[in-house]
Structure 1
C-alpha cells in the first residue's frame, strides 16, 4: 500500500521534504554509478565499532530501486504532514535527529543480538518515526492510498491511525516470529518509538497546532471539542475583518480616483456607500476640501453641506472659512436661518481677517432678519 496524500490541516509547504527526496535519489544514483562506495560510510556496519559518519550517511542510501521508491513515497506523504505542521527548519532538525539517533543506537546495540548481519542502510527507520509523529498529530485524518491489483491501481482512503497501527503491527509480528532475523523491523520500531515520543513532546509544549485532532484529544474524548470550534470561529472572524479592511481600502481608492478625474458626485456616492456598509473610511482634510469645492462648483449645495459640517467637526482648527461658507449655504440655498445663525454665532467673538469678519457679520444680520420675519425652518436634524 502506498499513501500519497492526506487531508490534515497544514501550515507550511513541504520544501525540505522535497529536498530530502532529491538527496536520497542523488545518493542512490551515485551508489549505482559507483561515484561513491557504499562501504565508505554509506553502510551502517555491525561489529566494527561506532562510526558517527555512518549514522548520518546510511539513512540516505538504499539497497535497490524498489527500496528507494517505496521509501520516497512514504517520505513524501508523512513528510508532508509533519513538515506541514513543524515548518522547514524544525522538520529538518527532527528528521536528522531521528536518523542519527536511531542509527547510533542500532550500531551500538544490534550487533549484540545479530552478530551475523553485515549492516543496514535506508531511510525506513526515520520514515517510521515520521509515520508515528503523524499518527500522534493527525490520527483521524484520512490518507489517500493506492495499491496495485494486477495491472490495475486501486485507490481508497484510510485514517492515519489505522495505517500506522497496521505497519507497526506488521513489524511487531515480524520481531516476534523471526527474532534476530527481523533486524529491519526492529529498526523500524525503534524509529517509530522515537517519533512517537517526539510527537507527544512537541504537542504538549505547543510547538505544533493540531486543532484538537491529535491522538491525545481522541483518546481523552475531547476530539471535536468547543475549543476547536471556537478557534475556527475566530479564524472566520479574522478573515471577515481582513475582508472588510480590503473593501474599505478599495472604496478609498475609488473615492480618490473620482476626485482626481473631477467627478465629485461619484466620489460622494462611493463615500456614502462605504459608510452604509460600515466600512471604516474617513477622507483626509485635503480630500474633504476637494470634495466640497467640487460639489459647490456643480452647485450641489445640499450635497456639500453635510461634508462641510463633517469638516468643521473633524478639523475645528482653521475651519472658520468653511463654517462661514456653510452658514451662507444655509441662508441662501437651504432656507435654514437658525442653523446659519448658530454657525456664525459660535465664532462671533473670534478675531478674523477683515474679509471673513465682514462675511460673518453679514450672515448674522441676514439670519436675524429672516428669523425676525418669522421664516419657518423645519429642524429635521439634516442639512
Structure 2
C-alpha cells in the first residue's frame, strides 16, 4: 500500500542510531512484576556489552479482560530505582496520554508507543499533546495491522508536537497466516519505510515477532542483515516464573550469548535456515488448505446432485447406515493410526451434517 512522502523531521543526534554503526540494544522483562525482579534483571543486563537501555512493561493492553494487565504506576517507581542503581536509561510502553504523563512524572527516559495506540489517530493526537514542549525520545511501534499510513501518521502527529528524537520498532503484525511467527515480521513494510525515510532509525523486536526462543537468533540476524539500527529483547531473571510471555524471554546470561552470536555473525547450527524452512512448510500448508477447500466445494456439488434423486426416509436411512460404515472404515485404516480418532469422528460428523444440510435445501426447493 502506497503512503505519502510527507517529510519526517528526525533529530540529527538520535537516541536510536549510533554514529559508529553499532546496534542499539534495549532489553528487559515483558512485565514489571516486583522490585526484586526488576533490579536483579537490570543488574545482570548491565553486565552485557552494548545494552544501554532497560525496558519493562508497566501497562499491558490485553485482548481479553481477565489477563494480567501489568502492575501500573508502582512499576514506574521500580523503573526509576533501576535507573538510579544501575545508570541504565529506562523505557516503557504507553498506550494513552495518561500513561505518557505518568511515565514522564517518574523519570522514564524513553517512551515507546503501543501498536494498539499507533492504529488510533485520536490516541496519537492526545499522546502528542501530552509530549508537546518536551524533548522526550519516542519509539513508535508498528500498528497492529500492516498499514504503513497509520505508522507514518503517528510519526507526523509527534512531529507536529515538535518531537523529533524519533525511531520506529518493527515488532510484527497481525496476519491471516502468521506461522511460524507469533507476529508476522512483514519485512517488506520495514524496507518500504526504510526506503522512504532513510533518516529514520528502525529497530526490531525479535521477541514479539518470534514468540519463542528457538526463533530469536534467525529473526534477529535477518533484521540486522536488512539494516535494522537496533534490537529489543525481552529478558527475565527467571523466565519460567514470568507472569507474561515466558516462552519468548531469555535469562540475561542467555541473552549475552545471543547478542555475541549476532555481533560476531556466528553461524549457529540448525538455526540459519530455520526461518526459511518453516516459511516453506507454511506455504505448503497454505497449498494443502486451498486444495482442501476446493475438494469441499466439489463435494458440495456432488451432494446437491445426489439430493435431486433423494428417496425420502428410505434414502435417509441408507445414508445413515453408509455414514456409520464410512466412519468405522476410516478409524480402522492403518495410515490413520497416528491421527486422533476424536478428530476423525468430528470431521466425519461435520461432513455428514453438511451433506444433510445441502440436501435439505435442495429438497425444500424441489417441494416448493
TM-score bracket relative to the smaller structure: under 0.3
Which structure: greater helix fraction? 1
Higher relative contact order by CA 8 Å / sep ≥ 6: 1 or 2? 2
Using structure 1 for the length normalisation, give the TM-score. 0.26
